[in-house]
Amino acid sequence: MNTMYKSLVALLFLGIMACSGGEESKTATQDSDLPFVPLNDPSLQLIYTPTPNPLDEHKPIIDAINSAKVSVRMVMFILTDPEVVSALISAHQRIPTVQVILDQSNLSDPTSSNSKAYQELLAAGVNVMKSSTKFTLTHEKSMVIDDKR
């Protein structure tokens, strides 16, 4: 029975190895099969953080909010920077539309930075809402200024 058990384990192992397909899976750092599409539209701007200078990390985001003339629409997983919150409140006081959606799963703890930002925006009259509960997480970070594509 011991030999039969070893043979069964060996056969199972070989079967699993045969199903692997033999191809390496790609990681985020490896080349993708998808083509690279450059951002050629001058009305679009890609902003990413962290930046090389942590003191100015959110400056491009704040500058974009401050430049808005008609609208700011933001979806944010976690809103932690009080300067961004202040910029959104200032924008709300000078332009017609400021809308913010924050991830609802990060709002359950009243001491979290997301809860503080949510309450501060709400108290200032900003149209802020929790993301849909149909999703476990809204792990999005996007912003549209003046409804420009």
Provide block-wise average pLDDT over 10 residues at a time, the chain (149 residues): 48 48 47 64 69 75 94 92 95 97 88 90 96 84 83
Q: Would the pTM of this model clear 0.85, i.e. be above it?
A: no
Residue 34 lies in a domain: no
Residue 37 lies in a domain: no
pLDDT given for residue 13 in this prediction: 47
Strands 71-76 and 141-145 come out as antiparallel
Residue 92 lies in a domain: yes
Residue 90 lies in a domain: yes
Residue 120 lies in a domain: yes
**54-92 in b/e burial notation, b at 16+ Cβ within 10 A?**
eeeebeebbebbeebeebbbbbbbbbebeebbebbbbbb
Which domain CATH number covers 73? 3.30.870.10
Q: For the chain, what percentages of helix, strand and coil (3-state, to nearest 5) are there?
A: 40, 15, 50
Residue 2 lies in a domain: no
Residue whose structure tokens are 């200024």 = 145
The domain total for the chain is 1
Residue 70 lies in a domain: yes
pLDDT given for residue 34 in this prediction: 63
pLDDT given for residue 7 in this prediction: 44
Residue 139 lies in a domain: yes
pLDDT given for residue 29 in this prediction: 44
Q: How many CB atoms lie within 10 A of CB 114?
A: 21
Range of the domain at 81: 55-149
Q: Give the CA dihedral 114, 140, 137, 28, nearest 10 degrees.
A: -120
pLDDT given for residue 48 in this prediction: 65
